[in-house]
Amino acid sequence: MSTRERRRLIVFSQVQDKAISVAEAGRSLRLSERQARRLWKRYGQKGDAGLIHGLRGKKGNASREALRVQVLALYRQKYAACNAAHAVALLKSRDHLAVSRKTLWRWRKGEGLIVQPRRHKPHRQRRVRRSCTGELVQMDGSTHRWFGDDQPPYVLFVMIDDATSAVWARFYESEDTASAFDLFGRYVKRHGLPGALYVDHDSIYVVNPSDVQARRRQATDKPVLTQFGRAMQELAVGIIAANSPQAKGRVERVNRTLQDRLVKELAMALTAAGVGIKDLATANAFLEKTFLKAFNEEFSRTPASGINMHHQVPAQVKLGEVLCHQESRVVGQDWCVQYASRILQIDKQHASLALANRRIVVLAQPGATLKLRYRGQALVFRELALRPHKMPVGKVPLASRTFSSTPWRPGPNHPWNTTPACSKRTIKTST
């Protein structure tokens, strides 16, 4: 018996001898009267053993030795690279074993499978979530070796709703404007246009002003926009540029989580060849059909407001023509436009527009598809063959010339060494 249980035995022995009452015994042991009467009843039924804790000598529910051995064996065999939360989710969905995250963490700690690092981070103030779905969407690209250390790094473009933490992502070869256009277009077709995007200061989204651009901005009083910024302006989607990675911490944290979980699940998701996913097309299909659904079910949350701020693209706006590279060009006198070493001849059916010396817009869509627009009107054109390179008349190509170090001197009969006939003076004599 413990010291406390021995004291209870002494006090209840006095109650048995009718020296004190049960209520007085409870006050002496610092117990409520109800608890004192429960103990007195158990003492009367079991004697001294009634005052000993009922779980003394029994294994607690947390030990569950058989389950512990089975879970740790599966963890060592299949999920050694996963953290406790990820391993618990995989054990439940794939092996049908239910165990809490804290219990698995404690078991791993007891086996020496983890070492808890000490982290010292500066104090920061958390930004309050937006209340409505689609009010603000954070967007960022994460470059990582997603398909293993033996594969080249690729970019996972991620969009996460600030109110719900719902994630939309896709793999690309590089982080550029074309990839950002493609990801945003797929997001819009699935959810609609968000109110604003929260991004970093990458040159894809905003122009980092140099001195020349600053002077140009002051002279024209017009903001300088990137291609992506111009597209968002046309679609009435705001762009907020974060001044630090911590400011858009929600997408930064989900990038870190994906670099842990997604890499393991891509390796565990075997293809028809019996190996992990190693190519972009298969990885994007796995993302959309399998991974993101389970990921959002686990991590997404209910927004504070039930209002959905996503809005549909206006009927008169063609999304594919907005989310593409656009440049201004001047039409020549021959009604041709030059773009990326290509010559585009505008059709004569637009003669009434008098396009010579006027500016039009060239739309370069994915797949090297070009379109011409003048004040919103589509122009019919055809591509001409490149002009042949003209050689200067009477000149020998530089490659075929021969050079000598001996200086050339004109011969005696060269015009330079003869006196012209017109220069000879006629001397007249007088008689």
Quote the pLDDT of residue 245. Answer: 83
- pLDDT of 425 > 60? The answer is no
Computed over every residue of the chain, the mean pLDDT equals 86
SS3 state at 366: coil
User: 137-144 and 167-172: which strand pairing?
Assistant: unpaired
Residue 387's contacts (CB-CB under 8 Å, 6 or more residues apart) are: 343
* Mean pLDDT, range 77-97, rounded to an integer: 91
Q: Which residue has the tokens 């370069």?
A: 364
User: 369-374 and 359-365: which strand pairing?
Assistant: antiparallel
Lowest mean pLDDT of 72-76, 120-124, 375-379, name the range: 120-124
Quote the pLDDT of residue 375. Answer: 87
Decide if 337 contacts 344 (C-beta within 8 A).
yes
- pLDDT of 390 > 70? The answer is no
Decide if 151 contacts 263 (C-beta within 8 A).
no
Cα–Cα distance between 112 and 125 in angstroms, integer?
Answer: 35
Tens digit of each residue's pLDDT (9 = 90 or more) over 162-201? 999 999 999 999 999 999 999 999 999 999 999 999 999 9
- pLDDT of 264 > 90? The answer is yes
- Token digits of residue 30: 């610092």
Q: Which residue has the tokens 């939360």?
A: 85
Q: What is the CATH number of domain 324-384?
A: 2.40.50
pTM for this entry: 0.66
Which CATH code of 3.40.50.300, 3.40.1550.20, 3.30.420.10, 1.10.620.20 fits the domain covering 137-299? 3.30.420.10
Cα–Cα distance between 342 and 403 in angstroms, integer?
Answer: 38
Q: What ranges do the domains of the chain cover?
A: 3-51, 65-110, 137-299, 324-384
Here the contacts of 375-381 (C-beta below 8 Å, separation 24 or greater) are 377/353, 379/346, 379/347, 379/350, 379/355, 380/346, 380/347, 380/349, 380/350, 381/337, 381/344, 381/345, 381/346, 381/347
Q: Measured between alpha carbons, how far is residue 119 from residues 116, 205, 245, 277 in Å?
A: 9, 33, 18, 34
pLDDT band with cut points at 50, 70 and 90 for residue 272? low
CB neighbour class for 87 (10 Å; exposed up to 12, middle 13-18, buried from 19):
buried
Element (H, E) at 22: helix 22-28
The better pLDDT of the pair 423, 359 is held by 359
- pLDDT of 428 > 60? The answer is no
Cα four-point dihedral sign 161, 165, 170, 173: positive
pLDDT band with cut points at 50, 70 and 90 for residue 296? very high
DSSP E strands: which ranges in 73-164?
137-144, 154-161
Tens digit of each residue's pLDDT (9 = 90 or more) over 210-261? 655 555 665 666 678 899 999 999 999 999 999 888 888 899 999 999 999 9
Lowest mean pLDDT of 25-34, 123-132, 275-284, 290-299, name the range: 123-132
Tens digit of each residue's pLDDT (9 = 90 or more) over 90-103? 999 999 999 999 99
Tens digit of each residue's pLDDT (9 = 90 or more) over 3-18? 888 888 888 889 888 8
Tens digit of each residue's pLDDT (9 = 90 or more) over 313-358? 998 889 999 999 999 999 999 899 988 888 999 999 998 998 999 9
Tens digit of each residue's pLDDT (9 = 90 or more) over 350-365? 989 989 999 999 999 8
- pLDDT of 424 > 60? The answer is no
Among 202, 193, 248, smallest CA distance to 229 is for 202
Decide if 313 contacts 193 (C-beta within 8 A).
yes
